[in-house]
Amino acid sequence: MFLNNDEEKMLQGEYGIIVQKSMKILVTLGDVFGAERMVKVKSVHVSGISYKNIGDPALEFLEEWANNGAKTRVHTTINPSGMDMERWREFGINEAFANKQIRIIDAFKKMKICKSLSCTPYLIGNKPQLNDHIAWAESSAVAFSNSVLGAKTNREGGPAALASAITGRTSMFGYHLDENRNPSHEIYINEPVNGVLEYSTLGYHVGKKLGHCIPFFKNLKKPNIDELKALSAGLAASGSIALYHIYNVTPEEKKFRENSYERIDVRKRDLTETLAELSIEEKNEHICIGCPQCSMREIAQIARKVAGKKVKRELWVFTSRTICKEAKLKGYVDVIERAGGKMISDTCMVVSPMKMMGVRGVITNSCKAAHYIPNTCEIPVALKDINNCIKVALGK
Ligand code: F3S
């Protein structure tokens, strides 16, 4: 692969051992995938932050890199951690887990990484522009940034994303190249799709049916940002899909309008079946909203529904700390907490140790959460739309 002078110096160790190791990771990946050169990235998003997911080996790796002078060269944000960094005691997290999680975050801070702890960086200041090259991990955010924003990223793993943060580069292959962004299938659905749960289910169904591909949705009416984030998460969870196009919605679709691709028809009935397969009703006492983490609009919606009422079951609302602070200023946090709900920041229902937190079953509106929680938390998940989630929380 061609390297310019600066990149060659990085590889030869002139900027220190950590930059050299980072460049080696990127060059190796580039060689494997046939990249001809590197490209500068405008931003990085790193996943693999929760102690529950990464454990001691990764903690030691991160501390070693931080102690050896690892520093980011571009704006870098990180995914949710395993706990609310301020209120972890309240939620039953033990000291041993918390101490390890704090050490992980301290290592990232030492590397000058922004302590965003969110899977929706595009809602809180890390919002790439059309055609920006970026290096993002976190599958839902990758699908959103590639598709809705028209930025260019592969689905990075945590170490490769960190290497990009430290070098400011990634290898030019995959979705960084225009010729790899063409649709593979066009998708038609026989009835209108509405709301976060339906978009989440549509994404999950298409991802499961087609696997790794680039779908082009031809007849969706204009989804809002929350529906697009749910669609992105669903597609990425079941099918490793990192890019999609929507007629009249996403920024690159005009290039492909005139062409035809293998046609796939989806019926509303398919979504109902997918939902039924994923949903397990058992001792689902906790109503958890926010996978991906809630936007301000979703928090406002929840606040309106519970205003002046009292929840009969636990209602947990997951969001980024940035959005939570803004929601507090707007009064939504007080409304939800006066009703007995809890706002949880910095983490999510999948990457936190839910059993340790006393959760025995979850009701949510996210197919991504329903896909992962039974394995990662060993508890059942039932799926309902937001209205029904709140109704159950209020005991109706
Ligand atoms: Fe985000 Fe956690 Fe879901 S990282 S997309 S809320 S699994």
Say what the pLDDT of residue 154 is: 98
Q: How far is the CA of 234 from the centre of ligand 1 (A)?
A: 11
Q: Is the pLDDT of residue 387 over 90?
A: yes
**CA distances in angstroms from 330 to 169, 292, 297, 335, 372, listed in the order given:** 39, 21, 11, 10, 32
Q: Is the pLDDT of residue 284 over 90?
A: no
**Tokens linked to 387:** 């209205």
Say what the pLDDT of residue 70 is: 96
Q: Are 20 and 10 in contact (CB under 8 A)?
A: yes
Q: Which ligand 1 atom sits nearest the alpha carbon of residue 293?
A: 6
Q: What single-letter amino acid sits at 387?
A: N
What does the alpha-carbon distance between residue 31 and residue 83 come to, in Å, rounded to a whole number? 38
What does the alpha-carbon distance between residue 163 and residue 151 come to, in Å, rounded to a whole number? 19
Q: Are 215 and 244 in contact (CB under 8 A)?
A: yes
Q: Report the nearest-CA residue for atom 7 of ligand 1.
A: 350
Q: Among 119, 289, 316, which is best to mutate for testing ligand 1, by the most ligand atoms less than 8 A from CB?
A: 119
Q: Is the pLDDT of residue 364 over 90?
A: yes
- List CB contacts of 311: < 8 A, sequence separation 6 or more: 287, 339, 340, 341, 393, 394, 395
Q: Report the nearest-CA residue for atom 2 of ligand 1.
A: 348
Say what the pLDDT of residue 282 is: 75
Q: How far is the CA of 37 from the centre of ligand 1 (A)?
A: 32
Could you tell me which of 396, 16, 384, 2 has the C-alpha nearest to residue 195?
384
| Average pLDDT along the chain | 97
pLDDT tens by residue, 168-220: 999 999 999 999 999 999 999 999 999 999 999 999 999 999 999 999 999 99
Q: How far is the CA of 293 from the centre of ligand 1 (A)?
A: 6
Q: Report the nearest-CA residue for atom 4 of ligand 1.
A: 119
Q: Compute φ and ψ for 186, nearest 5 degrees.
A: -110, 140
Q: Which ligand 1 atom sits nearest the alpha carbon of residue 47?
A: 4
Percent of the chain with pLDDT strictly greater than 90: 98
Name the more confident of 245 and 280: 245
10 Å CB burial of residue 85 (0-12, 13-18, 19+) is middle
Q: How far is the CA of 180 from the centre of ligand 1 (A)?
A: 27
Say what the pLDDT of residue 178 is: 97
What does the alpha-carbon distance between residue 221 and residue 237 come to, in Å, rounded to a whole number? 23
**Residue 242's pLDDT band (cuts 50, 70, 90):** very high
**CA distances in angstroms from 82 to 49, 86, 270, 374, listed in the order given:** 7, 12, 34, 17
Q: Which ligand 1 atom sits nearest the alpha carbon of residue 79?
A: 4
Say what the pLDDT of residue 213 is: 96
Q: Which ligand 1 atom sits nearest the alpha carbon of residue 139?
A: 5
Say what the pLDDT of residue 317 is: 98
Q: Which residues line ligand 1 (CB under 6 A)?
A: 79-80, 119, 140, 233, 291-293, 348, 350-351, 368-369, 372
pLDDT tens by residue, 299-345: 999 999 999 999 999 999 999 999 999 999 999 999 999 999 999 99
